[in-house]
């Protein structure tokens, strides 16, 4: 990887870290630069669109990371139930390891930009659509009726559990939702 590519990747990784913990409005470019260890000029060189472009790249990278996690878990899961339970465990482990500074890598920004018509809102919506589609595919593979609606329900439960767990600084909400989702997705 070339030096410029490394710098760009460091900026995206730093933005992901800061924005997930502090949200869009709490993320300052100076803090991102400090975390990345990059000079100010590199920010505008790699992201001429400024903060929105950088945050967009960070969100896209986070979305792709969860996409890859879903694919990995789906490959080894016996079905949709096991996939969702493994996802909840992985996300809860990630949150606990970050001392509850991280939850869903998209939710903090999604909540802040929900009322806007900007590209970041659209990007967040697209990331969630992708995750819901993957969950629906797993449900359809089991012949589940209303797979799209059930996937939306499951995704809402996952997201809500992460928000509550982060707010309470406890895995409790994730464990409660895991039990409920486990029952919801049991094959009869």
pLDDT in tens, 105-139: 899 999 998 888 789 999 999 999 999 999 999 99
Q: Which two tokens stand for residue 133?
A: 């589609």
Where along the chain do its domains lie? 3-184
> Which of 170, 180, 2, 157 has the alpha carbon at shortest distance from 92?
170
Joined together, the tokens standing for residue 136 give 């629906």
Q: Does domain 3-184 have CATH number 3.90.1170.40?
A: no
Give the number of residues written for the chain.
188
d(C-alpha 51, C-alpha 28), whole Å: 9
Whether residue 188 is predicted with pLDDT greater than 70 in this model: the reply is: no
- pTM value is 0.92
Give the pLDDT band of residue 174 (cuts 50, 70, 90).
Answer: very high
CA 154, CA 183: separation in Å to the nearest integer? Answer: 12
């Amino acid at each position: 990887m070339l030096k410029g590519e490394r710098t760009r990747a460091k900026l995206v990784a730093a933005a992901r870290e800061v924005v997930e913990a502090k949200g869009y409005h709490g993320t300052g470019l100076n803090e991102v630069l400090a975390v990345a260890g990059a000079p100010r000029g590199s920010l505008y060189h790699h992201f001429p669109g400024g903060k929105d472009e950088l945050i967009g790249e960070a969100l896209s990278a986070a979305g792709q990371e969860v996409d890859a996690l879903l694919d990995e878990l789906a490959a080894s899961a016996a079905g949709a139930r096991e996939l969702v339970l493994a996802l909840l465990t992985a996300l809860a482990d990630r949150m606990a390891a970050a001392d509850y500074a991280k939850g869903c890598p998209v939710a903090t920004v999604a909540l802040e930009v929900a009322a806007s018509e900007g590209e970041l809102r659209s990007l967040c919506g697209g990331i969630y659509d992708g995750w819901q589609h993957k969950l629906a595919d797993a449900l359809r593979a089991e012949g589940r009726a209303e797979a799209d609606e059930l996937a939306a329900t499951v995704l809402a439960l996952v997201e809500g559990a992460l928000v509550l767990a982060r707010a309470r600084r406890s895995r409790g909400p994730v464990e409660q939702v895991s039990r409920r989702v486990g029952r919801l997705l049991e094959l009869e």
